[in-house]
Amino acid sequence: MVISLSALVLASLMSFGELSINYLCFNYLTMTVIRQLLVRRNRILDRDEKAVMDGTDRERVEEAGRLEGLTFEDALERRKGFRYLY
């Protein structure tokens, strides 16, 4: 009976250890995927900022600055201040 009880305890401990290892691997994989999504979003924000500097959205930023009583540079700084943290 002692052998059966010790085998049950050992099997239970091994299964919990395996579950925790699988959980940690899944957690790491999920965090890596989310991080890559945020990096991609930041790249898109950088591309949009570059488009403003090239003049495609310049009128919209100038109009927003005029409505808020800001210069173009201040409005541009407000627009490009947001970034996703990863």
Tell me the per-residue pLDDT of 28-63, one tens digit each, with 9 for 90 and over: 888 889 999 999 999 998 888 777 777 667 888 888
Inside any domain, residue 70 = yes
Check whether 20 has a pLDDT greater than 80. no
Check whether 21 has a pLDDT greater than 70. no
Does the pTM surpass 0.85? The reply is no
Contact indicator for 52, 76 with CB cutoff of 8 Å: yes
Mean pLDDT of 5-24: 76
Domain that residue 11 falls in: 2-79
Separation in Å, CA 8 to CA 12, 22, 80: 6, 21, 60
Inside any domain, residue 43 = yes
Residue 46 neighbours by CB distance under 10 Å: 12
Inside any domain, residue 84 = no
